[in-house]
Structure 1
Amino acid sequence: MIVCSVNEISKMYGGNKVFENLSLEIHEGDRIGLVGPNGTGKTTIFKLMAQYEPVDEGQIHVKKDLKVGYLPQIPQFDEGLTALEVLEKAFDEVKAIERELRGMEDVMKQELDEGKMQTLLEKYGVLQERFSFLGGYEIEANISKVANGLQIEQLLPQEFEKLSGGEKTKVCLAYLLLQSPDLLLLDEPTNHLDISAVEWLEQFLREHDGTVVIISHDRYFLDQVVNKVMDLEDGEIQIYHQNYSGFIQEKEEKLLREFQAYQEQQKKIKKMKETIKRLKEWANRANPPNEGLHKRARNMERALERMDKLKKPILERKKMNLQLDAADRSGKEVLMIKDGTKAFRGKLLFEDIQFQLFYQDRTAIIGDNGTGKSTILKMLMGEMAIDEGEVKQGSNLKLGYLSQHHTYHDPAMRVIDVFRDEVAVTEGDGRHILAKFLFYGHSVFRKVGQLSGGERMRLRLAQLMYQDINVLILDEPTNHLDIDSRDVLEDALEDFTGTILAVSHDRYFLNKLFHKTYCIHNKNLHFFDGGYEWARKKMMEKMEIQAEIVEEKQASEATVKHRTEPKQKKVDLDALESRMEQLEQDIASIQTNMLQEQDLEELQLLYGRQQTLEVEKQKLYQEWEEALG
């Protein structure tokens, strides 16, 4: 079933055409990745489908009563709301139904004639069914599930307006997921999420009942979630029934086939033109001119005009031209931390950690947000002091650092001036170099304060390319880069003959480049002699062993406690869950009977029974949560 169809739409901004006569269809249950270079109009398509903006031409048809979930930017909420209250607003419809139900219950307590009571009970049954369908009984549980998954539970009591931009973005993503829309439009949902939160989101989206369309530069994430790719390029959309990796392979094969077909047609066209020319020459040599040869030439010209000319496929598009050359080699030992301990703002980040980086290593540091990954980089570079332990730098180091946060002391400076501050070149040579990083024409004179995150990253990469370095330290280097730019960066890093240390949550990037991995977990730094997938597997095994040890210790302590303390009543979780399930079934059965029952007294008895079961169910839920906690 088609839930949204886009028919020959066109859109312009400030006289610039974004796309023209664009069409696509979204089917129920689709998991779509909308990909394409930056600036091709992907986000614009989302805004048009969600009716945040009008189309200039064409039509967009959305299935009747379809609930579309999309946030084009951080919304404005009432002043003073906490993050928890923002998430609760996702259930405004449910809470309105609950208020209506409570009001109807008050009316039912009054003496009503049989007809009014019957009408009221029927309406009550319908509303209660809607309340249950929308998750009215699981609001707190659903909020807790999503908040824990996205790792924002610590933000819930804080005032929303006082959160950072990244924190607000994560809260708004949770708000959107909790709305449970039929069509979910996600624009770069993995931004600001660490790996464990992204993995939770992948699982959530795979289990989501609705339809999902995702704009993302996270190739690993797309592989895990989507089953269809819409490739937006040159104002046209091509559909591939693949995940991201399958799409890349199929697109390359398709381009090669199209290019071969184009070449064959060009050969045919050239041969036809040569034949037409010769026929005309032969016809004109005759005396009188040969009308038969002229006719053959005209027929061939008409055939050439009627021919459907194939468009020349573009095999190579404009990309960054990045080449990182290593300076004189460093010593064998590059960077080291021995027995390192560090706290930040009163919070212990890690304790007694060991770290070693050797010449030509490709080493990654992974871990959840806030565990101290960037802090380790700053300590290694000497930008931040260690609290306890030792940091050692090897001989002949020439460090190049790429930060995830690009700030400028003067945002009014021009791109060309910021570039030349670190690279000694003329303005003309600087413009030529910056063009390799997609800063064309007058864009080199833009103020750096106006640059997007991706443009700032490209500018910093341009500076690094022309610096004398043999060790690259990268902090989330793929942030803000589109997929093409990520590919270019990865190719350049593969060719770099020096040493690379990176902090990243881009799993595709980690798997492709790094053969050693450090993982920060529980204030410890764990080393794995392998890439991301290997490290993840081994870390999970280590955590399972640690959990078993803790479980055995707790069991042992519980046994001792059981022997030394008076015997207490043990809560049987299985029995609780079984009783809760039975209550749900009984309540559902009563609701069905209330819709069918005609006798007023029997209806009142059913209603009373339902209220009793609801109270018992709430008590059991509370007892169940206490038993778990």
Structure 2
Amino acid sequence: MISANNITKEIPTGVLLKDISFTLGNKEKVGLIGQNGCGKTTLLKIILGVESYELGSIQIQNETVVHLPQLFSFPQDISVREYGLRLVGSEKQFYLFARNLSKLGLDEKHWDTTVNSLSSGQQMKVKVAELLLQEPTVLILDEPTNHLDIDGILWIEEFISVFDGIVIMVSHDRSFLDNTISHIFEIDEKQLHVFSGNYSDYLEQKEHWVEERRKAYARQEKKREQLEQLLENVRKIKGGKQRGKAVKAAKKRMEREVLRDEINSYSRDTLDEIEFGGETHTGKIMLKVAKLTHSFGDLSVFENTSFEIRGNTRVWLFGPNGAGKSTLLNIITHKIVPTSGQIEIGTGVRWGYFRQNQEELDLDLTMKEYLHDVLHLTQAQLYGFVKKYLFPKEYVHRKLGNLSPGQRARLVFGVFAEQELDLLILDEPTNHLDIWTKESIENSLKEYKGALLFVSHDRYFVEEVDVDRIVTIENKQIKEIW
């Protein structure tokens, strides 16, 4: 059992978490959600015992807790077998690690392969096999699906579903949350709100909760107006000391009955729908790939393959990690020179490329310098931009390298909106975004009039964006599957 009682955590800028309380028992599986920066990872660290806090207590009784971090690495040039031997110490004990690998579906044919040459999903299986050596009863996971392809996501879903213990995980993958959890813990305004069921259940409960708060606010507003009228009547009727006492009494009554801070209407500091602009070019070739061939040394990725996008078509580029999706996008956007073939972006087409890890950004530039370079903003326009896209005013002097990945993503999308592009090319655009920013981007893309080519393993995002075509990379060819 895990029990937290009135945990309060302070940071230099103020209180981050306030009066956090919860109790978790056997087999309960929790999705921890909230806007970026609200304290989710900090709460995980408190549970793990690696982060201090100012008030409250946390008790973990008869549990073995393991942590699967968002990012992990392995030694260079070490095989799966060698890595396992390092963990267990002897050939005699290796069977424990091997048994875990087999349970997780990593076949023996992979054991002599270097770990770093495996796919992201396979590397996660190696890491989980390591954690299972501790025979855990509690799993703490931080964004477990972020770098997985769909096969990897389906595997981790199944693993969590059959895990016979407590699971607490931070995730912004809504389909994943729908398929794995029994409770949603939401951090909002420093406090923890608990909802039963999966993510879809949470949405229904939250809608009802918000509506009840709105009704309560309306009732209190009506009462406030009545009390203000009472004050006004007292001022008119009473005089001298008697009037002063009556006014004071009425004010106390107002303070007592109108708890505005407690019942304020539900609001969240979220990004409004972004207007990406752009134009619809009906029938026009926006992008053309002709007879593309490309190799990395002896590794052939594409062989004489062709592909095009016309008008305002929305195309999902689908496939497993390592298939060549990002390579194709880098070739299309001139980041990689192909071995042979022709790449054309339509005449006059304004386009933007969102790279998976935002490699296009110079992390040594300040936000002010970057925005001046790409948008040539005046001082007034600069501060208008940071306000519009929910950055604190002082962030204009912050280096891009000191922004979180989610903040950098928001910055790039803001730039795209200001540039009014006709073609958006997006590589895993939602990877570092919280749920509310994802929803804003989804709603914006629904209204976008231009053409769209994107790679994503976020199933919820794909459904919301409403694609026209699905293409994949198979046998070194770009193939249309829908």
Match among 230, 251, 272 for residue 206 of structure 2:
251
Residues 34, 214 of structure 1: 8 Å contact kept: yes
Rate the CA distance shift 1:153–1:372 in 2: closer, same or farther, 3 A. farther
User: 1:606 maps to what in 2?
Assistant: none
Q: 1 CA distance for matches of 2:225 and 2:82?
A: 70
Letter in 2 for 1:158: T
User: 1:187 maps to what in 2?
Assistant: 142
User: 2:399 maps to what in 1?
Assistant: 447
Aligned-partner SS, 2:63: coil
Match among 398, 402, 405 for residue 354 of structure 2:
402
Letter in 1 for 2:101: I
Aligned-partner SS, 1:256: helix
Listed one character per residue, the Cα deviations across residues 362-392 of structure 1 (whole Å, up to 9, x for unaligned) are 1100111110111222333344344465545
Q: 1 CA distance for matches of 2:293 and 2:137?
A: 48
Rate the CA distance shift 1:409–1:481 in 2: closer, same or farther, 3 A. closer
Q: 2 CA distance for matches of 1:19 and 1:138?
A: 40
Residues 356, 428 of structure 2: 8 Å contact kept: yes
Q: Which moved more, 1:391-400 or 1:69-78?
A: 69-78
Q: 2 CA distance for matches of 1:78 and 1:477?
A: 29
Rate the CA distance shift 1:312–1:156 in 2: closer, same or farther, 3 A. farther
Q: Where do 1:521-532 residues align within 5 Å?
A: 521-529=474-482
Match among 95, 98, 104 for residue 140 of structure 1:
98
Residues 69, 141 of structure 2: 8 Å contact kept: no
User: RMSD of aligned C-alpha atoms?
Assistant: 3.6
Letter in 1 for 2:382: G
Letter in 1 for 2:257: M
Rate the CA distance shift 1:153–1:520 in 2: closer, same or farther, 3 A. farther
Aligned-residue offset at 1:458: 1.9
Letter in 2 for 1:198: I
Rate the CA distance shift 1:166–1:458 in 2: closer, same or farther, 3 A. farther
Rate the CA distance shift 1:169–1:201 in 2: closer, same or farther, 3 A. closer
Give aligned-pair identity as a percent: 29
User: 1:515 maps to what in 2?
Assistant: 468
Q: 2 CA distance for matches of 1:85 and 1:320?
A: 51
- Do structure 1's residue 206 and structure 2's residue 161 form an aligned pair? yes
Aligned-residue offset at 1:230: 0.7
Q: 2 CA distance for matches of 1:246 and 1:235?
A: 22
Letter in 2 for 1:435: K
Aligned-partner SS, 2:308: strand
Aligned-residue offset at 1:203: 0.8
Listed one character per residue, the Cα deviations across residues 20-57 of structure 1 (whole Å, up to 9, x for unaligned) are 22212222211111000111111111111111123221
Q: 2 CA distance for matches of 1:205 and 1:430?
A: 45
Q: Where do 1:598-613 residues align within 5 Å?
A: none
Residues 321, 436 of structure 1: 8 Å contact kept: no
Q: 1 CA distance for matches of 2:197 and 2:385?
A: 37
Q: 1 CA distance for matches of 2:166 and 2:301?
A: 40
Aligned-residue offset at 1:214: 1.1
Aligned-residue offset at 1:504: 1.1
User: 1:44 maps to what in 2?
Assistant: 42
Aligned-partner SS, 1:488: helix
* Unmatched tracts of structure 1, length 5 or more: 100-135, 530-629
Q: 1 CA distance for matches of 2:327 and 2:110?
A: 21
Aligned-residue offset at 1:186: 0.4
Q: 2 CA distance for matches of 1:303 and 1:44?
A: 40
Listed one character per residue, the Cα deviations across residues 469-498 of structure 1 (whole Å, up to 9, x for unaligned) are 211111111121111211111111111111
Of structures 1 and 2, the larger Rg is shown by 1
Letter in 2 for 1:224: N
Aligned-residue offset at 1:264: 0.8
Rate the CA distance shift 1:458–1:169 in 2: closer, same or farther, 3 A. farther
Listed one character per residue, the Cα deviations across residues 546-605 of structure 1 (whole Å, up to 9, x for unaligned) are xxxxxxxxxxxxxxxxxxxxxxxxxxxxxxxxxxxxxxxxxxxxxxxxxxxxxxxxxxxx
User: 1:67 maps to what in 2?
Assistant: 64
- Do structure 1's residue 438 and structure 2's residue 390 form an aligned pair? yes
Structure that is richer in helix per residue: 1
Q: Where do 1:96-245 residues align within 5 Å?
A: 139-146=97-104, 148=106, 157-158=113-114, 171-176=126-131, 179-245=134-200
Give me the TM-score of the superposition, normalised by structure 1.
0.68
Residues 173, 189 of structure 1: 8 Å contact kept: no
Which structure has more RCO (C-alpha within 8 Å, separation ≥ 6)?
2
Q: Where do 1:78-89 residues align within 5 Å?
A: 82-87=79-84
Q: 2 CA distance for matches of 1:351 and 1:267?
A: 71
Rate the CA distance shift 1:479–1:174 in 2: closer, same or farther, 3 A. farther
Q: Where do 1:387-536 residues align within 5 Å?
A: 387=339, 390-407=342-359, 410-513=362-465, 514-529=467-482
User: 1:594 maps to what in 2?
Assistant: none
Rate the CA distance shift 1:439–1:71 in 2: closer, same or farther, 3 A. same
User: 2:52 maps to what in 1?
Assistant: 54
Aligned-residue offset at 1:450: 2.4
Aligned-residue offset at 1:176: 3.1
Q: Where do 1:305-316 residues align within 5 Å?
A: 305-307=255-257, 309=259, 310-316=262-268
Give me the TM-score of the superposition, normalised by structure 2.
0.87
- Do structure 1's residue 275 and structure 2's residue 233 form an aligned pair? no
Aligned-residue offset at 1:241: 0.8
Residues 274, 417 of structure 2: 8 Å contact kept: yes
Residues 171, 177 of structure 2: 8 Å contact kept: yes
Residues 363, 501 of structure 1: 8 Å contact kept: yes
Q: 2 CA distance for matches of 1:78 and 1:337?
A: 39
Q: How many residues align?
A: 479
